[in-house]
Amino acid sequence: MAMTRKQRRLSMIGGAGAVLAVAGGLILYALNDEIVFFQSPSDVAEHNVPHGQRIRLGGLVKDGSIVKYGETVRFVVTDGGGDLTAIYTGTLPDLFREGQGVVAEGKVGDDGIFHADTVLAKHDENYIPKEVVEALKERGEWQMGADNPKAKGAPAPDKASRAEPQDAAVKLTN
């Protein structure tokens, strides 16, 4: 029994759809190890992130937490609701300091310490990733700076004094 034109067309469309679905599935499977999810310190604690899983940790560098051992730096990332100790070996960005926003990529080790291989330091709260700001707002820790024109009562800068924004982040890898 011969197929009609309509049946051939539908089978071709169905076959092409199946090929695209398989190709999409293979792409997602191949990228599975490369996808890095953003987590706050509280999220890491609440969701029991598996040791060795690559994540992007974001928050603020806790005051008084930076300890340097030569090229290795130990610091605590906080979101106001939870803290996570992080360790990084390498040269840190000049903007990295206590109380500033930070995003670090790496893995939580068996010791419960976050081992970062990339550290992004943020210039000010205008450049903190949206996810970090939302996590800080949820915990009641977010405060807009007086130099932020969106803050209540802050004067709007005039065009002559408005500077171009600096690079949003400095990325260093080992």
Rounded Cα distance, 129 and 61, in Å: 14
User: What pLDDT sits at residue 24?
Assistant: 92
Rounded Cα distance, 108 and 151, in Å: 36
Query: pTM for the complete prediction?
Result: 0.56
DSSP 80-92: SS-EEEEEEESPP
The pLDDT tens digits of the residues spanning 111-156 come to 889 999 988 876 555 555 666 677 777 766 665 553 333 333 334 4
Residue type, 4: T
Query: Which stretches of the chain drop beneath a pLDDT of 50?
Result: 146-174
Residues spanned by the domain of 59:
37-146+168-172
Q: Contact, 47 vs 106, CB < 8 A?
A: no
Does residue 67 belong to any structural domain of this protein?
yes
Please tell me the total count of domains within the chain: 1
The CATH number of the domain holding residue 141 is 2.40.50.140
Does residue 112 belong to any structural domain of this protein?
yes
Does residue 153 belong to any structural domain of this protein?
no
